[in-house]
Chain A
């Protein structure tokens, strides 16, 4: 199946709209404009090597990991249920997971604030259950909740899509051989759905690292996240060089770690993973 030329239209597209902007970013990251013209420099990258900025980076990555793990833990069973026999004829159900995201992000987040704030529905329920610290709004928990809310569909859908039409004969064969559901799940279904899981993780984790509006609105803005830092450089400070450098470093860190993850995926392709 030598059909690599199918990707040529995309490669052309990519060259124009992804590679060129990326080169621009590289250019900004490694240059400084002085009175004598534009010069190469590593200063922007070095400047990032400051505990304050490293903290910002770490915190953002940490938050994104938490959000991704929760999305996976909540989302995988959803995919599994939607793909199961009872629901497999109801394809529109999967759509129901995305429709809330068609409502403007700002409005959705404001609505969460209404639910979480003092006197809001969630607050009242927690209060009623005598749970201390019922004020969820402006806390880290609220940030995680908001992020999971916004990214869940990007985890559920790819997992659901690999689980539907999962070769039923393999599952049935395993069951015929006397394996119980848990074993089938562990030895057959999960390994076969791994590519979908990796896609889901990618689509949740990568954008989650750079989001910051959720944290600003729901978390009380007590700290800066990397997306915020980059935005400040571009918009408020006007230091596009430093802003680009942060983006670049972030990109390198994440692509390397994702590369490791993918290696793991490829190394185990088709086999049981544990």
Chain B
């Protein structure tokens, strides 16, 4: 009972830590003054300005498209890669893993500039100018290592005998993979997907250098505003995004707990 309380209190403290700045941000979306330096009174004008701004909605669209696509693609490639790497010999594994660390390790500026140079260089062959697609490729590239790093621990944990037992019982290797291995490592895959999405949505430097004219994302939009002061309509946008996600989450949560209670009742 005490342990339960402690657990709960601990989680609450962490949530306060994580959400305190978000609350500040939400509050300042109603600030009359353009500066967070002082409170100029309550207003909804930033929300109205936000809805008039077509530039932002385009940037938001690009941001979400890139984040979703790059996270999904990186998760597919990364999960397959992790399974492969897990089964590699020692030396090969070491080489591949050390190379995998590079995008995680390099400062964004190095990754961004070198990918830009690569895309510019290959433009002559591929006829592919910098833009949405190159930005997507860059995002997938820096996302994959995080997926691999999320999936590998689950593979290490996997009980080899379960897979072998499935084979002994006549399952084909791919059947055993889909029905035995994948479900077991699912938490790792989901973690990779979430982290990839998060990294993609928050990236500025690499996006800046790998995109082309006419394709911008929210980070580029926000950072380039910094010299003149970030407009509070970005706070308004963040507030709306945040609330949307939170509401969706609550709905999903409700559904899920309902489902699980249904299952329990059915079992009785």
Q: How far apart are the CA atoms of A223 and B218 in the complex, in Å?
A: 30
Task: State which of A31-39, A134-142, A197-205 sits at the interface with chain B.
Answer: A197-205
Task: Give which listed residue, A4, A18, A107, A161, contacts B153 with CB less than 8 A.
Answer: A161
Interface centre among B110, B137, B154, B159 (most CB of A within 10 A): B110
Q: Please, how many angstroms separate the alpha-carbon atoms of A243 and B238 in the complex?
A: 35
Q: Which of B20-28, B41-49, B50-58 contacts A (4 or more CB under 8 A)?
A: B20-28
Q: Which residue of the partner chain A has the closest CB to B219?
A: A104
Stretch at the interface among A41-49, A51-59, A84-92, A172-180: A84-92
- B109 and A230 within 8 A (CB): yes
* Contact status B7-A86, CB under 8 Å: yes
Closest to A192 in B: B157
Known: A107-B235, A162-B157, A195-B153. A2 touches B87 (CB 8 A): yes
Which residues of chain A have C-beta atoms less than 8 A from B191's C-beta? Answer: 157-158, 160-161
Q: Report chain B residues within 8 Å CB of A84.
A: 7
For window 180-203 of B, CB contacts with A under 8 Å fall at 184, 187-188, 190-191, 194-195, 198, 201-202
Nearest neighbor of A150 in chain B, beta-carbon distance: B202
Q: Say how far B145's CB is from chain A's closest CB, in angstroms.
A: 9
Q: Are B24's CB and A115's CB within 8 A? A: yes
A98 touches B194 (CB 8 A): yes
CB-defined contacts of A74 to chain B, threshold 8 Å: 14
Interface membership of B171, Cβ < 8 A: no
Contacts of B252 in A (CB 8 A): 92
* Complex Cα gap A158–B73 (Å): 20
Residues of B within 8 A of A99 (CB): 242, 245-246, 249
Q: A274 in the interface, Cβ–Cβ < 8 Å?
A: no
Are the CB atoms of A158 and B84 closer together than 8 Å? no
- CB neighbours (8 Å) of B249 from chain A are 92, 95-96, 99
B61 within 8 A of A: no
B78 cross-chain contacts in A, Cβ below 8 A: 10
The reply to whether A254 and B21 contact each other, CB–CB distance below 8 Å, is: no
Q: In the bound complex, what is the Cα–Cα distance between A10 and B100 (angstroms)?
A: 10
How far is it, in angstroms, between the C-alpha of A93 and the C-alpha of B159 when the chains are bound? Answer: 27
CA distance in complex: A14, B141 (Å): 8
Q: How large is the interface on B (under 10, 10 to 19, 20 to 34, 35 or more residues)?
A: 35 or more
In the bound complex, residues from chain A placing their C-beta under 8 Å from that of B107 are 210, 226-227, 230-231, 247
Contact sample, A vs B, 19 pairs, CB 8 Å cutoff: A8-B84, A10-B78, A10-B84, A14-B99, A17-B115, A17-B138, A24-B118, A86-B4, A92-B253, A96-B15, A99-B246, A102-B245, A103-B22, A104-B218, A111-B20, A111-B21, A149-B18, A152-B14, A161-B190
- Residues of A at the B interface (CB closer than 8 Å) are 1-11, 13-14, 16-22, 24-25, 74, 77-78, 81, 84, 86-87, 89-93, 95-108, 110-112, 114-115, 121, 149, 152-154, 157-158, 160-162, 164-167, 192, 195-196, 198-199, 202-203, 206-207, 209-210, 226-227, 230-231, 234-235, 240, 243-244, 247, 250-251, 254-255, 258-259, 262, 269
Residues of B participating in the A interface, judged by any CB pair closer than 8 Å: 4, 7, 10-11, 14-15, 17-22, 24-25, 28, 36, 77-78, 80-85, 87-88, 92, 94, 96-111, 113-115, 117-118, 137-138, 140-141, 144, 146, 148-150, 152-154, 156-157, 159-160, 163, 173, 177, 184, 187-188, 190-191, 194-195, 198, 201-202, 204, 218-219, 222-223, 226, 230, 234-235, 238, 241-242, 245-246, 249, 252-253, 256-257, 260
Besides the contacts A14-B96, A106-B223, what 8 more A-B pairs have beta carbons closer than 8 Å? A2-B87, A7-B84, A91-B256, A95-B194, A102-B245, A149-B21, A157-B150, A199-B152
